[in-house]
Every structure is written in C-alpha cells, then in structure tokens.
Structure 1
Amino acid sequence: MSTKNHVLLLPGKLAYLKALRPRQWTKNLIVFAAPLFAFSINLQSLLGSLLAFALFCGASSSFYLINDLVDIEADRQHPVKSQRPIASGLVSIPVAIGMAVLLLGSALTLSWLRTPQLGASITAYALLQVAYNLRLKRMVILDIGAIATGFVLRAFGGAAATGVVLSSWFLLCTAMLALFLGIEKRKAELRLTQLKGSTPRSVLQRYSLPMLNSMENVVTSSTIVTYALWSSGPYMRGASTSWMLLTIPFLLYGIFRYQLLSEPQEISLNSDTNIEQGGSSERPEEVLLKDVPILLTVIGWVLTCFTILWLKHQSLID
C-alpha cells in the first residue's frame, strides 16, 4: 500500500473511533471514586475499576451512536454537527448500528457475568439513557435529575465491580456533585443560546438564569457541607481519618473554578469562533481535558488522597 493511500484511509479509520466520542469517556472516571473514598486501593480494586470504566465507556458510546443515527438528518443541516462521522458519511448507517449493538450487548453481558450488582447498574444506566432521550431531556428539572442519576449509577457500578460497600456519605457526595454539574451544564447552554440569539430547545425555554442560579446556590452549599462532614472522619462516621479535611481546598477551588467557566463573560470570550463552543462547563469532559487549573486540581486531590492513605497505612497518622 502506498503512503498516499495510507494517508487517505487514515481519516476514515479514525472516524470510527471519533464516532464513539472518546472525549466523553472522562465522565466514566467516577467509577474509580468508590474504592478511593473507601481507602481500598489495591490491584484487585484497580482491575475492577478498569473493567467498570471500559464497560460504561462501551455502553455510553453505544448511545452516542444511536443518538447520531436518530439525529442524522438534522445534523446534516447543522454547520458543525454535519462534520460528525455518521452525518458526514464517513461511518455508514449499517456499520454504526452494528457498532452500537455490539458495544451495548457486550457491556450488558460482561457486566452481568462479573457481578449482578454491576450488571444491574449498567442495565439501569441503559434504561435511563433510553428514558432520557425519549422523554426526560425535554422535562424541566427532571432532565438535570437524570444527568445526575447517570453519574450516581456509574459510581455504584465502580463499587460493584470492586466489591466496595458504599456509604451513605459517598452516595450523598456523588449525588450533590452530579446535580451541580447538571445545573452548570444547563446554565452554560442557556447563556450560549442567548448570546447566539438562537431559539433554545424546548427544555431550556422553561429555565431562566435566575432560576438556575438559585438551584446552583442550594446544590453548591449542599455539596460542600456534605463533603466537609464526610471528610471530618470517624466522628461523623465518614472517612476513616479526619486528615481528609486537607482535601477540602481542592473541592472548593474546583467548584468555584467550574462556576467561573459558566459565567457570561467567560462564555462570551469563547463563543465567537465556533457555534458549538461556549461556556466550558457545558461539557464536563472538555473541562477536565482542556482547563489546566481544573486538571491540576483533580490531580492534586488524587495525590493528596493517596498520600493520606499511605500515611494511614504506615500508622503515621490516625
């Protein structure tokens, strides 16, 4: 095969990967949270978390393919979405259907073979995606709840794959943070439609910035208080050591930085070059990949947790 032909075929090959939207896979990293919160870090938990991550990536990508198939005609009329692999014709409809069926079928089968709990979590996630795309994404407030539930199911799946028993604190922290992300996503989407002067989709017509700001204030406060109580340690039946209080600054900075990225001036600075660009908090996966302060905050939080875990394991701290 000539070099020229290889170069011409490469974009087509990459189109199959792009159709899976690998950038979105960062959302599934939450499967690693359960063993980390439980201070259960070992080879077995790592392998279990990696399996859960792979299965949720497969399940989520199958629905991205299905959504692109359903919206193919509308996407072809869109100046940016028309470049997506399925809409542009780089990935044929039969191949996309086959990929979706294979990915979802494999994720469901392998998850049930691993443990019933993991199988139930991925099955529930799949049913949630069906409900969300058919109805919930057009229902005000419930749409945000559905987004948050998706994150909670991922976290539950990570715990099921590693045999970690979830605490009520972990579920509360995960749920509050997931609600926060969902509200920020809708806030950025609404502001972006206002800047573009375009007609918002049906669910955004029911929201207003004052309403979303009020929801944001309640959930932000709840997230911080819940995490602070958990990190207080055994006295609150939370973390196994109160040294986890040292991680609170990372949470505070991460939340406030994320809020900054959905502010009007931030969206205005980013909304001129591309129709799909705007407030970075509209896409949590792109914040983690592109915003250096957020990325460093996550790395700092993980390293601090690992350090505290190691010191406790060495009996150097209580």
Structure 2
Amino acid sequence: MSSFATASLRRTGALIEALRPRHWVKNVVVVAAPLFGLALDVDSLLRVGWAFVAFSMTASAFYLINDVRDIEADRNHPVKKHRPIAAGLVPIPFALSTAAVLLLGGLLGSYVLAPWLALTIGAYAFIQAGYNLGLKEEPILDIMVIAGGFVLRALGGAAAAGVPPSGWFILCIGLLAFFLGIEKRKAELREAGDEEETRSVLRDYSLPWLRRMESVVTASALMAYALWTLEGADTPWMLATLPFVAYAIFRYQYLSENGEGETPEETLVGDPAMLVASVCWGMLSLAILLISQ
C-alpha cells in the first residue's frame, strides 16, 4: 500500500473518531413517539431512521466545530490532547468543511422528508451553537440545553413519522432528560475532585446543590410519568411499567454517586441492570399498547 493511501486511511479513521459515533446512541430517542404511537410500519420506520441519521450528522458537525474552537485548550489537557483535531490528525479546514457538509446534508435531507423535521433539526443546531458559544459555561442553562436536545430529538422522530406528540409525552421526555443532565454533572463533579483541568462550569456547581436539584426533578419526572400512564396513555395498564422506570432512575442515581454517570449513553447500555430494566420496560410497554388496540 502506498504512503498516500496509508495517510488517507489514517485521516479517514481520525475523522470518524472525531465524529464521535459512540454518542449517536443518544439519537435513538427519535423512536419514542412512533413507538408509543404504534407507527411501526416500514415507511414510518424508514422515515424515523433518516431522522436518526440527520440528528447524528448534526451532532457530529458540532463535535467537529467544538473541537476546532477548543483546540488550544484541548492541547493543554492531559486526555483531550489526544483528540484527532487537537493532535493534528485532522486539519482544521478539513474538519470545518466536513462540518458544513454534515449540517447542510442533515437540514436539506430533512426538509425534503418532512419540513417539521427540518425545523427541529434547525432548532437543535441553534441550541448546539449557543451551547458551544458559551451556554456550556452557564450553570443550569447548560443542563437545560442538554435536556432541550433530547426533547428536540423526540419531536423530530414524531415529525418524521407523522405522529402528533402529546403534552404529556414532551413533559416526560423533558424531565427525564433534565434528570440525566443533572446526573451527568454530578458524576463529572465527583470524578473531577480538586483537579484544575476540568470542565469550567463545574466550578459553579456543588454536590449538595446538584442533589437538591436531583430531588426535585426526580420526583417531578416520576409523578409526570405516573400521571401520564393514568391520564394520557391509551390504557391505564401502562401504570404497570412504572416500577421499571422508577428502578432505572434510582439505579442511575446509584451509578452517578459512584462517578459512573458521566456519559449517559454509555451508562444506559453499559450497566447490565440498567439494560435489563430498559428492555423489560420497552417490551412490556409495547405489549400493553398492542393488546389495548
């Protein structure tokens, strides 16, 4: 193999790493609305599949932009200095041009499929831009942006499948996403300790404050889900899924107390107990919805 081909393969591999495909699992939230709306035909699933791709493209574009913007800080960080852009494996012009292609591709492709999907993608891109430009340094607002991203993913999936989302659906997704954001910051803060090289916004948080926020949001999320099963769901039998939701929430709190909730997408699929609870919840929910039709 020629040196040019070898260099091209290395650059491609570094670019793929910079896109952070392991974080794409967050975009699985797009299936929530069609799942609960039982819009599970082939056409709907294909449309939701494109919504997943579009959100992944948009998220990866902002990972590239963020790494370019933080390149100097990353080069001075003991771990982040190995990121492809900070390490010089992906040139800045190439990273920015790739980000532009991903953004335009996600928006234009979404508009062709469903204008409302393009609107949610655009809103997601807008808040991600705000996050990278400074909101990630603002306590509370940084967590709200994280939660807003999950809500927009869920709304995007609903738009792609043509399923109108209910207020209960948005409320439950929003509160659960806010809960995950709090747990993420709590785990990061516990992991960072007294280290200076850490996310700057963590200096504005404290564990007692995050635990107070956690208590309020946890109670609100569980109550919202319980009320949805009784008032908003097609059948009150959905109340039978509440124990799995409660277990998953409290299990996640347990993990974050031990510094394991810093990356929600990895925690949700990496912890066997969380994975079993999630699968049981999904199977039971789908069975109840199918039987109630």
Gaps (5+ residues) in structure 2?
Answer: none
Q: Paired residue for 1:252? A: 246
2:221 counterpart of 1:223: yes
Report the 3-state secondary structure (helix = DSSP H, G, I; strand = E; otherwise coil) of the residue aligned with 1:262.
helix
Listed one character per residue, the Cα deviations across residues 29-87 of structure 1 (whole Å, up to 9, x for unaligned) are 11110111223322222112111100000000000000111111221222211221112
Gaps (5+ residues) in structure 1?
Answer: 267-278, 314-318
Report the 3-state secondary structure (helix = DSSP H, G, I; strand = E; otherwise coil) of the residue aligned with 2:242.
helix
Q: Paired residue for 1:316? A: none
Whole-angstrom CA distance in 2 between matches of 1:170 and 1:245:
15
Quickly say closer, same or farther: Cα 1:298–1:216, change in 2 above 3 A.
Answer: same
For residue 85 of structure 1, what is the amino acid of its counterpart?
A: P
2:265 counterpart of 1:285: yes
For residue 310 of structure 1, what is the amino acid of its counterpart?
A: L
For residue 229 of structure 1, what is the amino acid of its counterpart?
A: L
2:163 counterpart of 1:183: no
Listed one character per residue, the Cα deviations across residues 271-292 of structure 1 (whole Å, up to 9, x for unaligned) are xxxxxxxx22111111133222
- Identical aligned residues as a percent: 53
Q: Quick check: 61-70 or 203-212, which moved more? A: 203-212
Q: Paired residue for 1:34? A: 33
For residue 227 of structure 1, what is the amino acid of its counterpart?
A: Y
Q: Paired residue for 2:22? A: 23
Q: Paired residue for 1:243? A: 237
2:180 counterpart of 1:169: no
Please provide the CA RMSD for this pair.
2.0
Structure 1 residue 5, shift from structure 2 partner: 10
Q: Quick check: 245-254 or 149-158, which moved more? A: 245-254
2:79 counterpart of 1:85: no
For residue 166 of structure 1, what is the amino acid of its counterpart?
A: P
Whether the 8 Å contact between 1:26 and 1:288 is mirrored in structure 2 is no
Quickly say closer, same or farther: Cα 1:199–1:100, change in 2 above 3 A.
Answer: closer
TM-score, L = length of structure 1: 0.86
Which of 184, 203, 207 in structure 2 is aligned with 1:205?
203
Report the 3-state secondary structure (helix = DSSP H, G, I; strand = E; otherwise coil) of the residue aligned with 1:89.
coil
Structure 1 residue 7, shift from structure 2 partner: 8.2
Whether the 8 Å contact between 1:33 and 1:158 is mirrored in structure 2 is yes
Whole-angstrom CA distance in 2 between matches of 1:73 and 1:22:
23
Instruction: Give the alignment of 1:114-193 within 5 angstroms.
Output: 114-193=113-192
Whole-angstrom CA distance in 2 between matches of 1:199 and 1:79:
8
Structure 1 residue 12, shift from structure 2 partner: 4.2
Q: Paired residue for 2:212? A: 214
Quickly say closer, same or farther: Cα 1:292–1:11, change in 2 above 3 A.
Answer: farther
Aligned length: 293
2:70 counterpart of 1:71: yes
